[in-house]
Structures are given as structure tokens and as C-alpha cells.
Structure 1
Amino acid sequence: MKLKLVPARTGATWVKLGMQTYAKQPLALTGLFFMFMALMSVATMVPLVGLPIAMTVLPAITLGLMAATLEATQGKFPMPLLLLSGLRAGPVKLRAMLSLGAMYAAGFMCAMGVSYVVDGGGFANMYLGGHVPDKDLMASGAFMAAMWTFIGLHLPLSLLFWHAPALVYWHDLTPGKAMFFSIVACFRNFWALTVFALVWMAVMVAMVLGITALSSLLGSPGLAGTLLFPGLMLVASMFFTSLYFTFRDSFEADSPLEEPRP
């Protein structure tokens, strides 16, 4: 396994491949994404331990979506059990995945805890509770400081774990080595990932503007509210489909990637 350096324009290619692959199996990939969202939502509902549990299994479940994308690229229909691929690949990989998850959960909770200290919990309650804060709170300096503090702490955490579950799963690396190679690969392909993020932001904005314009043309303001949520979920499904390609093109595998036998 070797690191690969790709040009910045590859970021746009990743977006295109994500959309094209999603179009091959839209029902299966959408269903798996909604299962992923449901699992995370149900886990976070458990008092006290729900959020740490959800963050612990997040890397493994995200890996499941990448495994489903691999199946779709091979012309296969991704089955629901693929979502649990990272937890079904044998005891060694299960321990590695749970170790990754525990470290991610610890980092996430620390970042959220620091933001809580900054503004007394306003941003944390909004982020974790899913409710929209009032305008005065959002306009406050403390809220903005807490938000940027969390983003500043969570961004390097995300880079550490961007490729780590896939490296554990497909390349049999230990959690520590997987995190190291993940952040190194992200920095080596920084501009490609930047283009990747910017193109997805543009897709999201274009989708929102398109729905808003359509509702205005039809003279139905309520239509925008009706279509916005499914539109956002569609884009999110395609985004998670494209994550596999950011991994595939950042590393040179010794052999073709395939599903490990449980």
C-alpha cells in the first residue's frame, strides 16, 4: 500500500464518480444512507451514553457506506448487511474498528466540551439537540466563538479519521498507523480534497436555489419547504457515495479491493 498524489481537479472527479455510482443503484444507496441516519439517531436518543455510542460506531458505519459504493461500482446490488461490514469482518478488525471509534468519540466529546466552555453550551445544545437557536443567540460573539472553536478542533480530527476505517478494513493497518496515513494522505492531497468540498458546497447551494426558484415560479412558497429536506438527503446520499473514491485514489493497493470474508 502506497500513498498517491493526485491533482486538484481530481476532487471534481470524485464528486462526478459519486453521482454516477449513486445513479447506478439509487434505491439501495438511498436506503443504506437512511439506515445509517436512523442508527445514529436512535443511538443518540439513549440518555447519557447515547452520543458516545453513536460516535464510537460512526467510523465503522461510514465504512459500511464505502463498502456499499464498492459493490455498486462492481455492478452488484448493495445489501443492508454491508452497512455493518466493519463490525462483521472478524474479531481483529472488530477490535480495531471499535478502537478507532472510541478515539473518535473521545476527540469529538473533547471538542464539543471545549465549545461548551466557550459559550456556556449554546452551540453544543444547538448542534446536539438539532433545534434552531434564536437570532440573538446566533448573533452573539460567544456563540460564534464556540462554533469556530468546535470547527477548528473537529477539522483535524476528521482528517485523522477520513481514511482510517478503510485502511483498517482493506489494508489491515492498526488504528494508530491508519490514523497516521489518513492525515498524511489528506495533507498530500489537500487541494484535491479542497476542490471536492467546494464542489459539493456548490451542488448543495445550486440544489437549494433551484428548489426555491421552482417554488417561486409555481407560486407555491410551501413547495420549497416540502422539497428541501428530500433534496438535502439526496445530496447527502451522493456525498457519502463519493467518499469511497477519495480513499481509492489516495492509496495504491497491492491487489484489487474486495469484501473481506467474515
Structure 2
Amino acid sequence: MKLNIVPARTGLEWTRTGIRVFWRQPMALSALFFLCMAAMSLASVLPLVGPAVALALLPSATLAMMVAAAEASQGRIPTPTLLLVAFRTGRERMHAMLTLGALYAGGFLLIMGLTALIDGGQFARVYMGGEPMTREIAQSGSFQAAMWVSLLLYVPLSLLFWHAPALVHWHGVPPVKSLFFSIVACLRNLGALTVYGLSWMGVFVAAGMGVSLVVALLSGLGLGIGFAGGVMMGTALMLAAMFFSSVVFTFRDSFAPPSMPAPQ
């Protein structure tokens, strides 16, 4: 396994490739993303351990979207069975993915715990859905400080786990080593990842402006707030699925040969 250093402009190509591959199988990839989110939502309602279990499923959900995008890029139709791809590639890799999920959940909850030292846990309750956001809360100095601290701490956590699920799945790297290799690859290709993030931000902004215009037109035609809300929600889910479909290409160019890694 060799780490490839790519130029910053590659980040734009990752975004373009992700969008192009998504539109090869838009319904299949959107449906799989919806199933991933639904599974995490269902897990979150479990008593006591629900939020932690939902967080632990995120690396597996990310891997499912990466494998699905790899399938679509090779002209195959991703199926809902890919939702369980992390748990049906052998006992050793299944345990590795479970360990990775536990590490991610622990890291995220640690961040939330640290923000609680700043604002008494208000940001954590709002973020985890336990308390509604109000204008007074949003304008609170302690809440804003906790929000920025969480953002600064989440960046290294996301870099640790960016390539980790794929390294475990395609290269059989142990969980802890996959975290180390992931953050090293991200830091060595930080320019490309920055361009990648900025280009996706541009896509989201442009799409948001376009949807806002459409919603305004639909409202003017008297189609109602509910219909307009459905358009906005559907677009948001599609954009999220499109983004997660592009992540596999950041892995492919960082670790694997130029050809797409073969799904397992």
C-alpha cells in the first residue's frame, strides 16, 4: 500500500467525478443513502445507548456509499444489500469495522463532553436533538464558544476517519493503523482536500440558491409550503448522497492504483 501525493487541483476532479458517477445511478445511490440515514435514525431511538449506536454506524454507512459509488463507476447497479457490506466480508473485518465505529462514537462523544465544560451541555443537547434551537440559545456567548470548539475538534476527528473505513475494507488494515494512515494521507494531500471541500461548498450554495428560486416560484403558484418543503428536503438528501458518493475517489487516488478498487 503506497501513499500517493496528488496536486491540489485533483480536489476539483474528485468533486466532478463524484457528481458524474452519482448521475449514472441517482435513484440507487439516493435510496442507499436514505437507508443508511434511516438505520442510524432507528438506532438513535434505542434507550440509553441509542445515540452512541447511531454514531458507531457512521463509518459503516460511509463505507456502504463508497462501495456503492465504486459499483456505479464500473457500470453496475448498487443494491440495498450494500448497506451491510461492512459486516459480510469476514469476521475479522467485521470486528475491525465494529471497533472503528466504537472509536468514532467515543471520539465524538468526547468532543461533546468537552463542549459541555463550556456551556453546561447546551450545545450538545441541541446538536443531538434533545433540545430545540431558539434565538436566545443561538445568541448565547457560551453556546457559540462551544460550537466553535466542537468544530475545531471535529476536523481532526473527521481526518482520522476519512479513509479509515476504506483502508479496513479494501486493504485489511487494522482499525488503529487505519486511523493513523488516514490522517497522514489527509495531511499530505491537504491542498487537494481543501479544494475538494471548497468545490462542494460551491455546489451546495449554488444548489441552495436554485432550490430557493424554485420554491419561491412554486409558492407563488399556490402549491403550498408543504410541497416546497418536500422539494427542499429531497434536494438536500440528494446533495448529501452525491457528496458521499464522491468520497471513494479521494481514497482511490490517495492509496490505490489509478483503477477503481474492486468492490468486495
- Alignment TM class, shorter chain as reference: over 0.9
Q: How does 1:46-61 map to 2 (within 5 A)?
A: 46-61=46-61
Q: CA deviation at 1:113?
A: 1.0
Query: What's the CA shift for 1:225?
Result: 3.1
Aligned to 1:115: 115
Where does residue 17 of structure 2 map in the other structure?
17
Which piece of structure 1 moves more, 13-22 or 50-59?
50-59
Alpha-carbon shift at residue 256 of structure 1 (Å)? 6.0
Alignment partners' CA distance in 1, 2:16 and 2:2: 24
Identity across the alignment (%): 49
Residue 42 of structure 1: CA displacement? 0.5
1:148-167 → structure 2 map (5 Å cutoff): 148-167=148-167
Does the alignment pair 1:246 with 2:250?
yes
Query: Which region of structure 1 is more displaced relative to structure 2, 103-112 or 251-260?
Result: 251-260
Name the structure 2 match of 1:92.
92
Q: d(CA) in 2 for partners of 1:113 and 1:73?
A: 40
* Residue pair 1:68, 1:83 contacting (<8 A) in 2 also: no
Moved more, 56-65 or 247-256: 247-256
- Cα deviation for residue 93 of structure 1 reads 0.3
Aligned partners of 2:83, 2:244: CA distance in 1, in Å? Answer: 12
What is the TM-score when the length of structure 2 is the normalising length?
0.93
CA contact (8 A) 1:115 1:150 kept: yes
Give the Cα separation in 2 of the matches to 1:140 and 1:185: 37
Instruction: Spell out the pairing of 1:25-36 with structure 2 (5 A cutoff).
Output: 25-36=25-36
Call closer, same or farther: CA 1:132–1:14 in 2, change over 3 Å. farther
2:238 matched residue in structure 1: 234
Q: CA deviation at 1:177?
A: 1.4
User: 5+ unaligned residues in a row in structure 1: which ranges?
Assistant: none
| Post-superposition CA distance 1:19-68 (Å, at most 9, x none) | 11111111110110000010010011112101111122221221111111
Q: How far did 1:253 drift?
A: 4.0
- Structure 1 residue 176, shift from structure 2 partner: 1.6
Whether contact under 8 Å (2:64, 2:84) holds in the other structure is yes
Structure 1 residues 255 and 235: alpha-carbon distance in aligned structure 2, compared to 1, 3 A threshold: closer
- Residue number in structure 2 paired with 1:259: 263
- How many angstroms apart in 1 are the aligned matches of 2:187 and 2:24? 31
**RMSD over aligned Cα, in angstroms?**
1.8
CA spacing shift, 1:69–1:131, aligned 2, 3 Å: farther
Do residues 73 (structure 1) and 77 (structure 2) align?
A: no
| 8 Å Cα contact 2:107-2:157 kept in structure 1 | yes
Output the amino acid matched with 1:78: P
1:125 equivalenced with 2:164 (yes/no):
no
Output the CA distance in 1 between the equivalents of 2:214 and 2:58: 36
The Cα shift of 1:245 comes to 0.5
Distance 1:255 1:76, change over 3 A: closer
Q: Would the alpha carbon gap of residues 141 and 184 (structure 1) be closer, same or farther in structure 2, given more than 3 Å must change?
A: same
Cα contact 1:96–1:174 (8 A) shared by 2: yes
Are the equivalent residues in 2 in contact too, given 1:56–1:104 (CA < 8 A)? yes
How many residue pairs get aligned? The number is 260
Q: Match for residue 172 of structure 2? A: 172
